[in-house]
Structure 1
Amino acid sequence: MKRLVVVGTGPRLYREFMLRRIGERYDVHLVIGRPAEWEAPYVSGVSVVPGMTADGIVAAVRAVVAQGAIDGAVDGVMTWAEDHVVDTALAAAAVGLPGPGPDAARACRDKHVTRSALAARGVPQPQSVLVADVAEARAVAEKFGYPVVIKPRAGVASQAVALVRDGEELADHFASAHRLPAADLRSPDRSVMIEEYLTGEEIGVDSVVRDGRVLPVFVSHKEMGYAPYFEETGHWTRGDDPLLGDPAITSFLTQVHAAIGYATGATHTELKLTDEGPKLIEINGRLGGDLISYLCHSASGVDPGLALAAVSCGDVPDLTRTRALCAGIRFAYPPWHETRVEEIAFDESGLPPEADLAVPLVRPGEVVLLPHKDLMEGRVAFATAAAATREELSAALDRALAALRCTWSPA
């Protein structure tokens, strides 16, 4: 059994299934900022790094590798946590294990560096300019022509990203994008990007990369809401999605990864399918968030976490598809901008047979806010399902959320 260091875990709800399955195949040593809790049954060792600093993570991985002379050699190090993408790449490079490379990991974290690297290679993407203040932002927006997208340079989960249609809206949203923490940036004073707005379907492609070769694992299709924000109200995937074999998309992914020099690991690439072909929205140096990887396994039988573990140890991943279903997730939101939750639960008798998970995300007494420019987390519950077709899946998710029983009031 190979030994694998996993850096960080994230929310139990979204990551336990991956750690459990990896723990069945690998001898896992966990590097985490607190003593192991729910993770304990799936790991053989834990290194606690208070604050999870970059130096602390690198030192912890070095120590585990050094101890390998007694416990057995370490074969790989990996993470699926956005906050630790760069730190894990630094640790892998420090001990000579496979990884994306620190510069490539930084390029995934810093969206301006991504844009610059792709521009140098001529990879298709929207026009983008880094700005320091509202005056610069307005000048760029007028040059591109409204509407434009405003986004923080190092944000996650679409926080503070908005579609703006005039100068007044741009000024209103600028402060939110500017004050978002700009971790790891070399010039944090210039932390806001103004970008051309692209039309077309937006998809996500999760891939594993081994020695520079990009292996697409699954495609996720987004359901969006709460304009002008880009809140993902749901997403779905299919085990036999024809886009996985589309040569234009495969070639595009290869270009993107080569442009930033990404060597080994996992990526979540978001792109628009425009009339001129695919164009990059962003690339993240980890697997997709929420339960996207869970849906991939439900739809195709492929486990993205195991695929990442394999390439992190230098091995060929098993991407054999054993089923061809459609699987999806849909989130529920409160009815008012500020909503106090009194009661919340799913009526199990109302759940369709295709439903898998039906989970409240808040508890009675909590106040929940709808998505807005400073917050992109207004979800109160979610349901997942799997079905033979996209139409059947959508109907099942409709029924599942209709089974959510809530009592709430304006806060």
Structure 2
Amino acid sequence: MTPNPRALLVIGSGLKLYREYLVRSVAERAREAGLRLVLINNLKPTWQHEYFDDITVVNVFDHQVLLDTARELAAEYTVAGVLCWDEPLVMPAAELAAEFGVPGLSIPGVHGCRDKHSCRTRLTAAGLPQPGFHLAADFADARAAAGRIGYPVIVKPRALGASMGVSLARDEAELDAAYRVAHEASLVGDEPYRGGAIIEGFADGPEISVDGAVHKGEYLPMFVARKSTGMPPFFEETGHVVDSADPLLRDDELMGVLAEAHRVLGIENGITHTEVRLTARGPVIIEVNGRLGGDLIPFLGKTATGIDPGSVLFDVGTGQRPDVSHSRAGTAGIRFGYPEHDCVVHAVDVPAEAPGLVTASPMVEPGTTLRLPPGGYIARHSFVVCQAADSETCVERLAHAASLVEVDAEEIAPPPAGTTLAMPAGLLDVDE
């Protein structure tokens, strides 16, 4: 009897613009290892055909359909690993890895990543620095919690990514509006986490993110990204800078907090993207995500340090300890272009040349409607990526390259109050 071919199962390819470089590396490693690369995807594939040996199209956001499809494929292949880098799909991917007996985040680990309330509860119980917090079911509950915690407070959905629905409230008047925004945003997320909002104390200080690999519970930091945000009281992420020489990579306190948080959450194998505030009382973990960073942060890390995140993902997904040593020195950054108001975009032109320019791209097609918070999120029309020998020069180059982007757009009125939030492109696997 011929044994089933060994395969690596990938749950959702993601957008070509954001994730193709990862897929390319995973495909190369799979071929070298003699593994088939099998994809379960949401929509009809195009660019994915170059990399995957077998593609099945189903509604991956119906988790029962996804699980049933994966089990059917597991009858055809010997599953050697399960990979996923799409936020809404990390939960079923971890469940499948556990079911198939291959390396994964672990069920407790993925719950700690996906459920922000669970993460806060477990990290607080372990004695790690955390703000006061409460999962509020309604306006009255939210007001009482904010009064106990003390203003200003952050109000956020329980389980969404990319700072969607997250805002700052400085008093009770602002709290009501912030609660409404978070509650309504939560309704587009996974069903178990819809409704209500988390109220938590504001951890003041610069915000960073750290992408790290986890192998058999051992936390291996790869690179630090310094984050830029805008559009207060919301926290739209407008850019990131990764420096291979960032001193935070050698900060024992920060690295200790990160390693302990992963241990407490029970994360076993995978890559995580942890967001941290550097406060006066030390590093405070905002959330741990059970996937690679978005916003092309892993691409910045690869450009600045030489670490190939796709190759690292292959290693941890197949039970191998990855090499996360830097093979390159430098800095890379990204700047996203946002409109000044809600608009319909007619055309976007990005620079082909600029000092240190690595790549630049429009992020929308003509006719796309972009809405700023709270009517929409991630309203980006373009991005530029630049590299330099140091962070200061990189930031200067990003500003110059961004100034060369030209946008033809027509201003439109904000959506009526109560309009259902539509998930923005870039978070979900909607690349046609």
Give the TM-score of the pair, scaled to structure 2: 0.88
State the partner residue of 1:159.
Answer: 164
Which SS does the other structure have where 1:90 is aligned?
helix
Structure 1 residue 54, shift from structure 2 partner: 2.5
Output the CA distance in 2 between the equivalents of 1:372 and 1:49: 31
Other-structure match for 1:46: 55
Pair 1:107-2:109 in alignment: no
User: Once the 2 structures are TM-superposed, how far is the Cα of residue 181 of structure 1 from its aligned partner?
Assistant: 2.2
Q: Distance in 1 between matches of 2:89 and 2:248?
A: 30
Q: Which residue of 1 aligns with 2:363?
A: 361
Indicate if the aligned counterparts of 1:206 and 1:288 stay in contact, CA closer than 8 A: yes
1:293 matched to 2:298? The reply is yes
Q: Secondary structure at the match of 2:293?
A: coil
Shift of 1:166: 1.2
Please report how far the alpha carbon of residue 208 of structure 1 lies from its aligned counterpart in structure 2 after TM superposition.
1.0
Query: Are 1:154 and 1:182, in contact at CA under 8 Å, matched by a contact in 2?
Result: no
Secondary structure in structure 2 of the residue aligned to 1:112? helix
Q: Measured at CA, do residues 148 and 332 of structure 1 come closer, stay the same or move farther in structure 2, by a change above 3 Å?
A: same
* Match for residue 340 of structure 1 among 329, 339, 344: 344
> Normalising by structure 1, what TM-score?
0.93
- 2:29 is the counterpart of 1:25: yes
Task: Give the equivalent residue in structure 1 for 2:430.
Answer: none
The answer to whether the 8 Å contact 1:77/1:312 transfers is yes
Matched letter for residue 404 of structure 2: A
More displaced 10-residue stretch of structure 1: 192-201 or 357-366: 357-366
Rounded to whole Å, the distance in 1 between the matches of 2:179 and 2:274 is 25
Q: Which amino acid aligns with 1:134?
A: F
Deviation at 1:203, TM superposition (A): 0.7
8 Å contact 2:359–2:385 — kept in the other structure?
A: yes
DSSP-derived class of the 2:324 partner: coil
Q: CA deviation at 1:394?
A: 1.0
| Aligned counterparts of 1:289 and 1:91: Cα–Cα separation in 2 | 23
Aligned mates of 1:187, 1:253 — CA distance in 2: 25
**How big is the shift at 1:63?**
3.5
Say if 2:197 is the partner of 1:181. no
Secondary structure (helix, strand or coil) at the match of 2:401 reads helix
CA–CA distance in 2 between the matches of 1:362 and 1:266?
A: 29
Aligned to 1:272: 277
State the partner residue of 1:308: 313
Alpha-carbon distance in structure 2 between the residues aligned to 1:136 and 1:142? 10
The alpha-carbon distance between structure 1 residues 328 and 187, as it changes in their structure 2 partners (threshold 3 A), is: closer
The amino acid across from 2:204 in the alignment is: T
> Which segment drifts farther, 143-152 or 41-50?
41-50
Which residue identity is paired with 1:364? P
- Kindly indicate whether the alpha-carbon contact (under 8 Å) linking 2:60 and 2:66 is maintained by their aligned counterparts in 1: no
Shift of 1:182: 6.9
Task: Tell me, in whole angstroms, the C-alpha distance in 2 between the residues paired with 1:84 and 1:108.
Answer: 12
- 1:61 maps to 70
1:145 aligns with 2:150: yes
Q: Which amino acid aligns with 1:340?
A: V
For residues 22 and 6 of structure 2, the distance between their equivalents in structure 1, rounded to whole angstroms, comes to 17
| Alignment gaps of 5+ in structure 1 | none
Asked if the contact 1:212–1:264 (Cα under 8 Å) also holds between the matched residues in 2, the reply is yes
Pairwise mapping of residues 3-402 of structure 1 onto structure 2 (< 5 A)?
3-26=7-30, 27=35, 28-68=37-77, 73-179=78-184, 180-181=186-187, 183-184=189-190, 188-189=194-195, 191-335=196-340, 337-348=341-352, 351-369=353-371, 371-402=372-403
Please report how far the alpha carbon of residue 51 of structure 1 lies from its aligned counterpart in structure 2 after TM superposition. Answer: 4.2
Kindly provide the amino acid, as one letter, of the partner of residue 218 in structure 1: F
What's the secondary structure of 2:79's corresponding residue?
A: coil
Distance 2:175 2:250 in 1: 39
Given that 2:351 and 2:401 are in contact with CA atoms closer than 8 Å, whether structure 1 keeps it comes out as no
In structure 2, the residue matched to 1:404 is 405
Q: Is contact 2:112–2:118 with CA below 8 Å preserved after alignment?
A: yes
- Residues 4 and 171 (structure 1 numbering): CA distance in 2 closer, same or farther, change over 3 Å? same
Count of paired positions: 402
Alpha-carbon distance between aligned partners in 2 of 1:394 and 1:81, rounded to the nearest angstrom: 28
Distance in 2 (alpha carbons) for counterparts of 1:184 and 1:381? 28
Q: 1:133, CA displacement in angstroms?
A: 1.2
Computed over aligned residues only, the root mean square deviation of the Cα atoms, in angstroms, reads: 1.9
Structure 1 residue 357 displacement after superposition: 1.2
| Alpha-carbon contact 2:270-2:316 (below 8 Å) kept | yes
